[in-house]
Amino acid sequence: MKIAINRCWGGFGLSHEAVMRYAELSGFKLYPIVEKGVKGNIDFNHYVPYTGQKNVFYISYLKKPLLKDETYEEGSCFYPRNDIERFDPLLIQVIEELGEKANGDYANIKIVDIPDDVKWQIDDYDGQESIHELHRSW
């Protein structure tokens, strides 16, 4: 079994290109928007389509496009970090295709092979992850 983990301090995160490729392979469309403006302008009521700007603080991925002056609800978002299983074959394909370009900010994603019959968990220390076999503890 192949599992994707982050191997540096910071945390698991996919690049915009990787998220969009994953959606394409999965057969659904995402609508990325910028939630906070470029150069640190904070205005949570201002969303603009993401067009590849640099220095963007946060990109949200919506499952449907926003209408003019519409804000989005929590359930209308796709969260790559939580909505994709680390062993998802399409995620593994995206990482293998893109290599380092799959890494989000503060991420260094690696694929680890483990035996199929092992029960496992991902352990995290300040964003740096490792895979451990599950066992009993008291």
The tens digit of pLDDT for each residue in 90-99 reads 999 999 999 9
Instruction: Between 114 and 59, name the one with better pLDDT.
Output: 114
Question: What's the domain count of the chain?
Answer: 1
Residue 36 confidence (pLDDT): 57
Tens digits of residue pLDDT in 29-72: 999 987 654 445 544 445 677 877 766 667 889 998 877 667 77
Q: What is the pTM of this model?
A: 0.85
- 114 occurs within a structural domain: yes
Q: Which long-range contacts (CB under 8 A, 24 or more apart) does 24-32 make?
A: 25/90, 25/93, 25/94, 26/90, 28/63, 30/61, 30/62, 30/63, 30/78, 31/61, 31/62, 31/63, 31/64, 31/65, 31/66, 32/59, 32/60, 32/61, 32/62
- 56 occurs within a structural domain: yes
- 138 occurs within a structural domain: no
- 34 occurs within a structural domain: yes
> Which domain, by its residues, includes 94?
2-133
